Structure 1
């Protein structure tokens, strides 16, 4: 029997870089939110672990070392046997785009195999941090404030977020997280308080590496009804929050064909 699990796209509604942690990672304050759309991971019982990748953004993705397989192997390592699963990743989100694609896929795999193998969900929580700083947040896939490296989480309830129409736009150029952090100017511009008045401290660095991000941001800011426009994570995906689905849909219909876009809702 095939089981399926969504891997919702992650957005950083705000992302403040506050410096460095003792372990060398960057100290962050961020607000995670998740869309109702994203990649999908499927699984079927099997004697061994395997992965097939399909979908609009499958090209160029390697099976070996993929976070989906790494998550499955890490979770299996928490059990006393050698269970298997045939895994299938439907890759619908752009790669290296700041919306947690790989992390969300890993988290969906953990949730999926926890169900299939009938494991204690605490086992997934135990292995998630070692798979990446965003994986714990993606495992929850709920609005949360992240501190530390983004992996110290506190759930947030905010009526201005849940159900909010959003349009994601990507210029079809990826950036590595390491390169963007490397271009960050190192200035602590203060704590994250209200997310609406927050910022993404990595946005200027990403724009310096990929100027078309600025073009995407300017285009989104010009859409009727766009109430908040920012880049997510380390880029290159940008987003706009709207008051109504009609406004979001209208903006989606105007998106230049050279860019990827997705109209969705925040969970």
Structure 2
């Protein structure tokens, strides 16, 4: 017997670093969305271990006590005789919230299926800055150190192609390489976007302040961005989070899938996936 929960990839469509607190934490202002690609968690009765990790992207991920899924499970209380199976599809340390999405999925899974109580906001934030937004599972503006979630006008229907060049860029190193820590906040739209072009125009006026320092540490990110911008149907491209995963936006599924095949054909060692933007639920590319 098992019950499942999906952990969608998080995409920072824009990410502005607006300050740094005395305790060292950086203040962010970000438009966050999700894609219908991600990891999967199952609650398994009669499991032999509290956490079992499977999937092609699970190599190198420890199921030890510091794993974010187990930390989230301890907050809720993993029922006796039950365990969590985590199927990793998202690359590790990749700027798309894989660990945070897994922790958030564990919280949802246990509160729903095991009758647990959702931990406090402070406990959730202590798991990671991206855990609150991943727990919400909806496109929104994320600010503060990740704890302030605000509504945002509905995004147009788009597909995202995610590409990671198989390089890990430690988040602390990227922030250390950021020269200016007090950048302007997002420029908020006056209302709903009338059409896709209006959203893309607005997005182009925003930034990812971590993109330049990340590229300075891992030039491969710049190569990925060049490849994405050169795709014929790509409408926009940018790095997500602190890298190294980048995204490109497309008008429809068929355009996105053609882009996946093209990138995979030219760069077989890269991780590439596509999903509908704004979908925190799993969306099959072949559906």
TM over 0.5, shorter chain: yes
Where does residue 134 of structure 1 map in the other structure? 130
Of residues 196, 204, 207, the one that matches 2:212 is 204
- Which string of whole-angstrom CA distances, capped at 9 and with x for unpartnered residues, describes residues 99-138 of structure 1? 0000000000000011122134x43656311101100000
Query: Does residue 1:155 correspond to 2:151, yes or no?
Result: yes
Of residues 247, 254, 262, the one that matches 2:273 is 262
Q: 2-side partners of 1:71 and 1:124: how far apart?
A: 12
Whether the 8 Å contact between 2:36 and 2:274 is mirrored in structure 1 is no
TM-score, normalization: structure 1? 0.92
RMSD of Structure 2 on Structure 1 (CA):
1.9
Alpha carbons of 1:132 and 1:187: their partners in 2 closer, same or farther (altered >3 Å)?
A: closer
Q: 2-side partners of 1:105 and 1:187: how far apart?
A: 29
Alpha carbons of 1:47 and 1:247: their partners in 2 closer, same or farther (altered >3 Å)?
A: closer
Query: Does residue 1:26 correspond to 2:11, yes or no?
Result: no
- Which string of whole-angstrom CA distances, capped at 9 and with x for unpartnered residues, describes residues 17-70 of structure 1? 011124320010001101111000111245997101010111111111111111
Q: How does 1:100-249 map to 2 (within 5 A)?
A: 100-120=97-117, 122-123=118-119, 125=121, 127-160=123-156, 163-194=157-188, 196=203, 197-249=205-257
TM-score, normalization: structure 2? 0.86
Aligned residue pair count: 260
Q: 2-side partners of 1:157 and 1:182: how far apart?
A: 33
Alpha carbons of 1:187 and 1:135: their partners in 2 closer, same or farther (altered >3 Å)?
A: closer
Q: 2-side partners of 1:128 and 1:209: how far apart?
A: 30
Whether the 8 Å contact between 2:19 and 2:183 is mirrored in structure 1 is no
> What 5-or-longer segments of structure 1 have no aligned partner?
none
Whether the 8 Å contact between 2:178 and 2:213 is mirrored in structure 1 is yes
Q: 1-side partners of 2:170 and 2:81: how far apart?
A: 32
Q: 1-side partners of 2:25 and 2:224: how far apart?
A: 29
Where does residue 97 of structure 1 map in the other structure? 94
Alpha carbons of 1:72 and 1:84: their partners in 2 closer, same or farther (altered >3 Å)?
A: farther
Give the superposition deviation at 1:92.
0.4
Give the superposition deviation at 1:146.
0.6
> What 5-or-longer segments of structure 2 have no aligned partner?
189-201, 280-287
